[in-house]
Amino acid sequence: MPTAVVPAARLAVIGGSATQGAPFPDDLHPDAAPLDDDLVFETPYGDSPPFRLFTLAGEPVLHVRLHGWRPGVPRGLASRQVFSVLYRAGVRRILSEAGVGSLNHLLDPGDLVICDDFVDLTTDRAVEGVVGGRLLIMREPVCPVGRAALSRAARRLAPDRRLFTRGVYVVTEGPRFESPAEVRHLQAGGDVVGQSFSPEVWLARDIGACYAGIYLIVNYGEGVVADWSHDELKRRFTDDARLMGRIVLDAAASLSHEQAGCRCRELRKPTLLG
């Protein structure tokens, strides 16, 4: 049964495709302990997807998967359900992850990218926030403190991986992949392509939370470097799921929910347009 009562939590993890192949958080971090599961909340946009509540180093953390769930629920509506819950929980910091395709020919499957900017080409996502009434400035869309925490965690847990601490994420509507001509077009605008990142990045700003994510290259974009194989795509999603989960949890455990070292909440002003 859905409930209207949302537990307080200052940290949240939005699970993407890169951890889909592993239970989360389970045994991925020594200080993670489950509190509650299958929490469905009533929201003005319909019942939320199931959340998991766990503690990480004593702090409550909300976890939800926002990829490939509940067919028939438009992505924009699903995102607003999730952010309505995160807003009521008082979430201040959000970390995310996903598997993405490469646009930049320097990137290979298995590389990790912590994106610092994005281009949103979606056409059927959220058109308004859950708080609203604010001008959301995208000068520095991704929290530098969150990015630094993810970078430290990735270097510690995956020292042999190539890690890129900047990159532009081009967000497409999906669910299909891009054609070779589309990839050539998108290469002018970004480094990786995927179907996560937005609207989450600006809904986080809407609720006054910091947002950052780490992305695993799982395939070359069509026409980039070489044809990709479905076997390698599957292998990346399964073999690296635990590593991606461990990186996100390690970064989350190191983050204070207090705002320090970033100006994310200053980039949200009263709107002049009513």
Q: Residue 262: count other Cβ atoms within 10 Å of its Cβ.
A: 19
DSSP characters over 103-169: -STT--TT-EE---EEEE--SSS-SS-SS-SEEE--SS-S-HHHHHHHHHHHHHH-TTS-EES--EE
- Establish if 114 lies at the interface with Zn ion (CB under 5 A): no
Tally of residues, the chain:
274
- Using the minimum distance from each CB to Zn ion, give the nearer residue, 143 or 154: 143
Q: How far is the CB of 269 from Zn ion (least distance, A)?
A: 16
- Establish if 262 lies at the interface with Zn ion (CB under 5 A): yes
Q: Is 204 helix (H, G, I), strand (E, B) or coil?
A: helix
Answer for which of 9, 22, 85, 143 binds Zn ion (CB under 5 A) is: 143
- Using the minimum distance from each CB to Zn ion, give the nearer residue, 110 or 144: 144
191: tokens are 């480094």
Binding mask 214-253 toward Zn ion (x if CB under 5 A, else -) reads ----------------------------------------
Q: Which stretch binds Zn ion (CB under 5 A): 34-42, 139-147, 150-158, 183-191?
A: 139-147
Report the distance separating Cα 254 and Cα 150, nearest Å.
9
Q: What angle do CA 223, 226, 230 make, to 5 degrees?
A: 100
131: tokens are 């708080």
Q: How far is the CB of 260 from Zn ion (least distance, A)?
A: 9
Q: Which stretch binds Zn ion (CB under 5 A): 20-28, 117-125, 141-149, 176-184?
A: 141-149
Answer for which of 115, 202, 264, 268 binds Zn ion (CB under 5 A) is: 264
Answer for which of 153, 192, 210, 224 binds Zn ion (CB under 5 A) is: 210
Rg (CA), the chain: 18
Q: How far is the CB of 256 from Zn ion (least distance, A)?
A: 11
Residues that bind Zn ion (CB under 5 A): 143, 210, 262, 264
